[in-house]
Every structure is written in C-alpha cells, then in structure tokens.
Amino acid sequence: MKTTIKPVLFSLIAAGVLLSPLAGAADIKPRIIRFGYGLAEDSNQGRAVKMFAQEVAKLSGGKLKVKGFGSASLGNDIQMQNALIGGAQEMMVGSTATLVGVDKDFGVYDLPFLFSNEREADTVLDGTFGSKLLGRLPAKGLVGLTYWENGFRNVTNTKHPINRFEDFQGIKLRVMQNPVYIDMFNSFGANAVPMAFSELFTALETKTVDGQENPVNTIQSSKFYEVQKYLSVTKHVYSPWVVTVSKKWWDGLSRDEQKVLQDAANSSRAFERKDSRAEAMRSVKFLAQQGMQINYVSDAELKRMRDKAKPAFDKFAAAGGATVLADLQSALSKSGQ
C-alpha cells in the first residue's frame, strides 16, 4: 500500500494541489459550509445568506461552498448555536438576543428604547463597541463575523391594538429566550412567554400565545398576518442579527479562507441592511393590504413605556452588566457627535 500512496502524494504536491488550498485546483472538492438560519428563504435573512454564498463562491474561486438552510431546518437559534460550538455545524445567523446563553453581556442590545434610529445602531455595532463584544465570542467557541439588521421590533396580537403599556395587560406574548425581554414585557403587564422562533407560527395559530413582537419584515416573511390582527408600531427594541462561525471549524481554515469569509461577511452587511430597510418601507403597506389593523403609538405613550421599562436597565447593570452598559452608553453618546 505505502509504495502506491507515496507517488500519488508526491505528484499532488508537485502539482501544487496540497500546498495552495485556494489556488485553482479544480479537482479538489469544495469545502461545504452549512449556514443555518431561522427565517424563510424568501426573507431579508434568506436573501442575505444567498448573497453571502455568492460572494464566498466568487472570492474563493468555488473552493468554499455555502449551503443555506432556512426555516430553522438545522434547528432553532439556540440549537444551532450549540451545534456551532460543538463543531457539528459551520455557520449561522440569528438574533444577538439568544447569545445571552453564551455571554450575558449580549443582552445589552435588548434593553428597551436603547437606540432611537438605525444610524445610532450602525455606529455602535460597526464601531469599537460592537467589535469588542464580538471579540468575546472566540473564548466561547464562536467567531462573530458581522452584524446584520433584524430591525426595530413591533408588537402584533389578536386581542386589541396596543396604544399604551396598560394595553399589554393580560396579553400572552411570545418573547425571545432572553431575560431582558421577559422583564420588559412583564413590567408592562403582559404575560411574557419565552419560546423559540421556530415554534412561534404554530403557537399563534393555536392561540397558545396571543401575540409576539418582531420587525415588520419578519411579520411579512413569516406570514404572521395570517394569524394576527393588530400591528402596533412600538419600535421598543432595535434587534441585531449576528453572523457566527464555529470556532472549532474556523481554526482548521487557512488564513486565506478565513479572509474570504470575513470579506464576504463585510460585503453582506451593507447588502442586508439596505435590503432590509427598503423592504421595511414596503412591509407596512403590504401588511395593511393583508387586513392587519395598524396603529402608531404616540410619542407621549412611548415615553411612558420607556419610563416604565427603565428598571430593566438597573436590573441588567446589577446582574453583572454595568460595565458593558456603561461602554455602550459612552459609544452611543459619541454617535451623535
């Protein structure tokens, strides 16, 4: 055996096949990257994964092949996160909110009414603060490549429009699996039910919960308008998505391959945000056409909600988040300058 393998190996090396993993060798099988996500293929998330895949194919000359798996077909956000950490899956995109299971400080983004507009969010996420927080992930088995926009979250339900925080009274509201959300909505008087996104449509359909909160893009792409009557524009949280890679798998890549993924992630960020923002403008009209009753919460009532939810900040700080919160607030104060 040995005598036959050696010459083959030698000629492969001579052909440069084993020495230059990114250069031309068409006979080497592409590395398959399973990239899981929770939303439908036809969503801002799905479109951005597709664009990222094309970019990776282009930059790697076809040596790296990203396969997108939408609708949580590889598992919900928490399950995928664990699969990445264990090395059983290569990539995913999901809400930063579910990263609290990995590092509690990620809950800072979920504090109510933290960002007033997309510009503030972009400045903080794309600046030193955002990358510093991503820099915490490798120690936990994940590599964070970039933030995408999930967007400002709004409430839907089947009972009545939400005009004031008192209207949350008695509403069973699905929230992400994150203590900041549970506290926030319980402080409004809702009955907050933490649940994986992948179970949400059925839970709404069977009335296990009365409502949920997500950006208008998601309310459209997940067809929540089929099972929800009222959409109340509250913009209570700006929610980022984060593109992550399994650290175990990442460590086995060459520097060139890592660069391809990072560069493609950087390009995908601009694409995804532009696409999401353009779609959000159209979604409200679409949802109205589908028969949703839409109301905009007044500034005065939003201020009452903000005041009511303030204890969430103190609680987050007291539970070990004081430093990360102060850092974020300082980054935010600079964003206006």
Q: Does 182 bind ligand TK8 (CB under 6 A)?
A: no
Nearer to ligand TK8, 60 or 220 (CB): 220
Q: Does 77 bind ligand TK8 (CB under 6 A)?
A: yes
In whole angstroms, what is the distance from residue 97 CA to residue 107 CA?
A: 6
Give ∠ CA 25-31-33 in degrees, rounded to 5.
150
Q: How far is the CB of 168 from ligand TK8 (least distance, A)?
A: 17
Q: Does 38 bind ligand TK8 (CB under 6 A)?
A: yes
Q: How far is the CB of 32 from ligand TK8 (least distance, A)?
A: 22
Nearest residue to ligand TK8 by CB is 38
Q: Which of residues 190-209 bind ligand TK8 (CB under 6 A)?
A: 197
Nearer to ligand TK8, 39 or 59 (CB): 39
Residue matched to tokens 């919160």: 325
Find the binder of ligand TK8 among 33, 39, 134, 190 (CB under 6 A).
39
Q: Does 244 bind ligand TK8 (CB under 6 A)?
A: no
Nearer to ligand TK8, 66 or 200 (CB): 200
How far lies 73's CA from each of 198, 217, 262, in Å? Answer: 9, 20, 25
Find the binder of ligand TK8 among 56, 142, 145, 176 (CB under 6 A).
176
Nearer to ligand TK8, 239 or 246 (CB): 239
Q: Give buried/exposed letters for 189-228 (b at 16+ CB in 10 A, else e).
A: ebebbebbbbebeebbeeeebbbbbbbbbbbbbbebbebb
What ranges make up the beta strands (E) of 5-46? 31-37
Q: How far is the CB of 215 from ligand TK8 (least distance, A)?
A: 7
Q: Does 68 bind ligand TK8 (CB under 6 A)?
A: no
Cβ neighbors of 86 (< 8 A, separation 6 or more) are 141, 246, 248
How far lies 300's CA from each of 118, 163, 329, in Å? Answer: 21, 10, 23
In whole angstroms, what is the distance from residue 50 CA to residue 34 CA?
A: 12
Find the binder of ligand TK8 among 187, 214, 220, 283 (CB under 6 A).
214
- The residues binding ligand TK8 (CB under 6 A) are 38-39, 77, 94-95, 150, 176, 197, 214, 218, 239
